[in-house]
Amino acid sequence: MSRYTYNTKQKTLIMSLLEKEKEAPLSCDSIVAMLVSEGTPVGKTTVYRFLENLAAKGEVRKFVDSHSKTATFQLVDKSLNCAEHMHLRCVDCGRIVHLGCEFMSEVGTHIFEHHGFTVDNSKTVILGKCENCKE
């Protein structure tokens, strides 16, 4: 494992894409495609590796679609304290909602006390459809 990290233009490019599209998660392929069409291509290996690193450091959240099996990544907004609440994700548009409200914070407690489970907020994603995508 590397002990230092260098700043490279590839990392900067990927990062700024993630920042620009922070509403919904991006797949590695779409990042590669976007960078190509911006005239600043980055090798797909680099994209996979960098996103996996960010996910390991908790700077990015990784989702896996159960049908396509494609991984998608979204920047974690540190000011939101995402480790403390669950998330909702629209199966159609990918939009994420942070469930930081009072009521939802009781859910973890309830599950622990009544069902003997310790919920892992970083892995749990409640799936459904948002208002816009409801048919």
Partner DNA sequence: ATAATTGCAAACACTTTGCACCTGT
Partner DNA sequence: ACAGGTGCAAAGTGTTTGCAATTAT
Question: Which residues in this chain contact its own copies in the complex, by CB under 8 A?
Answer: 62-64, 66, 69, 71, 86, 88, 90-91, 97, 99, 101, 103-104, 107, 110-111, 114-120, 123-131, 134
CB of 109 to DNA, least distance (A): 34
Helix (H, G, I), strand (E, B) or coil at 16: helix
Q: How far is the CB of 121 from its own copies (least distance, A)?
A: 9
Non-local CB neighbours of 80 within 8 Å, separated by 6+ positions: 98, 100
Pairing status of strand 60-64 against strand 96-99? unpaired
Q: Residues 13, 40: contact at Cβ < 8 Å?
A: yes
Binding mask 8-47 for DNA (x = CB under 7 A): xxxx---------------xxx-----------xxxxxx-
Rounded least distance, CB 111 to DNA, Å: 27
- Which of 49/110 has CB closer to DNA? 49
Binding of DNA by 66 (CB under 7 A): no
In sequence order, what are the residues at sequence separation of 6 or more whose Cβ sits closer than 8 angstroms to the Cβ of residue 44? 28, 29, 32
Work out the end-to-end distance of the chain between its first and last CA atoms, rounded to an integer number of angstroms: 48
Helix (H) or strand (E) holding 134: none
Residues of this chain that bind DNA (CB under 7 A): 2-11, 27-29, 41-46, 48-50, 52, 64, 68-71
